[in-house]
Amino acid sequence: MNRSPLDVDALRAATAGTEWRRVDVVAETGSTNADLIARAGTGADIAGAVLLAEFQNAGRGRHGRSWSAPARSQISMSVGVDTAGVPAERWGWLPLLTGLAVAQTACGLGVDAGLKWPNDVLVGTGKLAGILAEVAAPVIVVGLGLNVSLTADELPDPNAVSLGMLGHEVDRTEVTVTLLRALSGMLARWRAGDTTLAADYRGVSTTIGTRVRAVLPGDSEIVGVATDIDDSGRLLIDTGGTVATVSAGDITHLRPAT
């Protein structure tokens, strides 16, 4: 099992000339998202910042759900994305594009990864990575946790899966470089208004075309067929004559509907 430390010098050299202006690795922290947001709160410019942690002791998912894993068993990373010049209605695409970069990186390793809207990278029914975006205007902090060498006994969630469990022993530094370069390229396309990004996303979506149940706060729900993603990254659900539009912040869970 390879749990070598991340090579920060290699990361910095390999991402020179990309979106990422600063790359840092810390041994341990509570949450890389919280750390970048705290930096922004002190007036620091976090646009283009990348923060990786070898261990997170207070990692978070959507709706405050906790997530933790042994040291150096994941890629735990947050990035600061400058939104200047991009209409606010398109900011919702950022976690989706991050998921797309993760999925494409995994596919490059021979893993058949797909995207469950809004923020999960799946292999079959197993969760390989999760994503959390938080606004620290004018920057959005996007965090991700990609399971690399976790074993079945170490999973914080029985529905999760890792690259190692799928038979892929990889170097985390190399995977991180590939992921950061892929995300940098997608962000350039996003800023340019490249509409083909949506087609790329649809091509690996495990949600579009399936019957879903969107659980809303208060336990109300929307049931129907997920038909598309709109220009703001929201999910369109055909309930049978009516199309409902839901954003990631609107729902508590998205599950298959039988």
Q: Between residues 137 and 224, which one has the greater pLDDT?
A: 224
Section 42-69 average pLDDT: 82
What is this structure's pTM?
A: 0.94
- Residue range(s) defining the domain that contains residue 22: 8-204
Q: Flag whether pLDDT at 59 surpasses 80.
A: no
Cβ atoms of 92 and 81 closer than 8 Å: no
Say if residue 53 is in the same domain as residue 130. yes
> Would you state the pLDDT for residue 66?
61
Q: Looking at the structure, do residues 34 and 75 belong to the same domain, yes or no?
A: yes
| Residue 2 located in a structural domain | no
| Whether residue 2 has pLDDT greater than 90 | no
> Do residue 162 and residue 245 come from a single domain?
no
| CB-based contact 62:145 (threshold 8 Å) | no
pLDDT of amino acid 61: 55
pLDDT-based confidence at residue 215 (cuts at 50, 70, 90): very high
CATH number of the domain residue 164 falls in: 3.30.930.10
Task: Give the tens place of pLDDT for each residue, 110-144.
Answer: 999 999 999 899 999 999 999 999 999 899 999 99
pLDDT of 63 above 50: no
Position 241, amino acid? G
Joined together, the tokens standing for residue 185 give: 């390229």
Residue 18, number of CB atoms within 10 A of its CB: 18
Residue-wise pLDDT for 86-112, tens only, equals: 999 999 999 999 999 999 999 999 999
Last residue of a domain, one of 188, 204, 220: 204
Answer with the one of 204, 223, 243 that is the final residue of a domain: 204
- Return the biggest CA–CA distance within the chain: 56
Asked whether residue 14 falls in the same domain as residue 121, the answer is yes
Does the pLDDT of residue 187 top 80, yes or no?
yes
pLDDT value of residue 241: 87
